[in-house]
Amino acid sequence: MATGTQPRTDTGEPDGARGGVLSATRAAISARHLRTDRWWLAPAATAAGLLAFVVYSTWRAFANADYYAAPYVSPFYSPCLAENCETMKGGPNWEIFGSWWGLSPALLILIFPLGFRLTCYYYRKAYYRGFWASPPACAVAEPHGKYTGETRFPLILQNIHRYFFYAAIPVAGILTYDTVLAFRNSAYAWGHMGLGTLVFLANIVLIWAYTLSCHSCRHIVGGRLKHFSQHPVRYRLWGWVGWLNARHARLAWASLISVALADFYVYLLATGVFDDPRFF
């Protein structure tokens, strides 16, 4: 009986090219969507923002130049793991890759933050919508004939997000170390501060906030528990991470912009466009 809770048997066959909302059983409406608001604005802005960052960061990562202006090291090049790095006194030079590495040392380390952000639950939403239009916006039909989501290779690899989270923690730790080093002046004397120090401080706060607001982090600190009441400390941590997690998207953007700005600031100093205004 049609009004029962058993679904009809005569439905469910895809209708070739006219699938989805245009299927024969659905209400006959030829428009792929009927939204009257500017639904395209959000995915377009997202795509533009991400694209801008990709272009900028690609240029900077491959440039292999102008990434150090004492006492500041660009977050794109920290830690610097090859012999071809600039010498940074007390800085994050660890030449574990030795001399055979000829490319930009940024490429060695950027894989980790890149992987972290690429598999991040927020960025996934952002680029699935913005670049892949899957879907472009809610209740706007997507242009693809077939969809398997994250069920098979390569997208099934999104499940390794938590490993990138683990990797993101030491990276954030090193950037914190860089920020501490930024309390020196260009002669490496401690106890000084400049505008760059503030830029680095803001950046590291946002990097940590973004990293800790990660959904995997929320799961690991407490989300995986069945009984919060038996783990009061983890429950409290879960609450804090949850508070941050609710702001994950905003933190993702803020930290993306701040890391680019920090790099750009170093670039400007290194190319001598201006000198770092010193406070003391």
Partner 1 sequence: MSAVERHAWDVVVVGAGGAGLRAAIEAREQGLRTAVICKSLFGKAHTVMAEGGIAASMGNVNEGDNWQVHFRDTMRGGKFLNQWRMAELHAREAPDRVWELETWGALFDRTADGRISQRNFGGHEYPRLAHVGDRTGLELIRTLQQKMVSLQQEDQREFGDYEARLKVYQECTVTRVLKSDGLKSGGKVSGVFCYERESGRFFVIEAPAVVLATGGIGKSFKVTSNSWEYTGDGHALALLAGAPLINMEFVQFHPTGMVWPPSVKGILVTESVRGDGGVLRNSEGKRFMFDYIPDVFKEKYAQSEGEGDRWYEDPDHNRRPPELLPRDEVARAINSEVKAGRGSPHGGVFLDVSTRMPADVIKRRLPSMHHQFKELADVDITAEPMEVGPTCHYVMGGVDVDPDTAAARGVPGLFAAGEVAGGMHGSNRLGGNSLSDLLVFGRRAGLHAAEYAAALAAGMRPSPGEADIAAAEAEALRPFSAEGQAEGQGAEHSQGRPAENPYTLHQELQQTMNDLVGIIRREGEMTEALHRLSGLRVRARHAGVEGHRQFNPGWHLAIDLRNMLLVSECVARAALERTESRGGHTRDDHPHMDREWRRINLVCSLIDPTGGIAAADPERGQIRLERREVPPIRPDLLGLFEKEELVKYLTDEELTQ
Partner 2 sequence: MTTSTSAYLAHFRVWRGDEDGGGLEDFKVEVNEGEVVLDIVHRLQATQAPDLAVRWNCKAGKCGSCSAEINGRPRLMCMTRMSVFGRDETITITPLRAFPVVRDLVTDVSFNYAKAREVPSFVPPQGLGPGDYRMQQEDVGRSQEFRKCIECFLCQDTCHVVRDHEENKGAFAGPRFLMRVAELDMHPLDAAAEAGIDRKRTAQDDHGLGYCNITKCCTEVCPEGIKITDNALIPLKERAVDRKYDPLVWLGNKILRRKP
Judged by beta carbon, residue 87 or residue 230, the one nearer partner 1 is 230
Judged by beta carbon, residue 2 or residue 17, the one nearer partner 1 is 2
Least CB distance to partner 1 at residue 5 (A) = 5
233 lies in the binding site for partner 1 (CB under 8 A): no
194 CB burial (10 A radius; 0-12, 13-18, 19+)? buried
**Residues 188-227, interacting with partner 2 (CB under 8 A):** 215-216, 218-219, 223-224, 226-227
9 lies in the binding site for partner 1 (CB under 8 A): no
| Cβ(76)–Cβ(105) below 8 Å | no
Give me the residue label for tokens 């799961």.
219
Residues 226 and 235: their CA atoms lie apart, in Å, by 11
CA dihedral 178, 183, 189, 194 (to 10 degrees): 120
28 lies in the binding site for partner 1 (CB under 8 A): no
Q: 3-class SS at 102?
A: coil
- Measuring CA to CA, which residue among 117, 128, 70 is closest to residue 216? 117
> How many CB atoms within 10 Å of residue 85?
26
Which listed option, partner 1, partner 2, none, makes contact with residue 9 (CB within 5 to 8 Å by class)? none
Which listed option, partner 2, partner 1, none, makes contact with residue 1 (CB within 5 to 8 Å by class)? partner 1
134 lies in the binding site for partner 2 (CB under 8 A): yes
Residues lying near partner 2 in the complex (CB under 8 A) are found at 2, 4-8, 11-15, 19-21, 23, 25-29, 33-37, 121, 124-125, 128-129, 134-135, 138-142, 144, 146-151, 155-156, 159-162, 215-216, 218-219, 223-224, 226-229, 235, 245-246
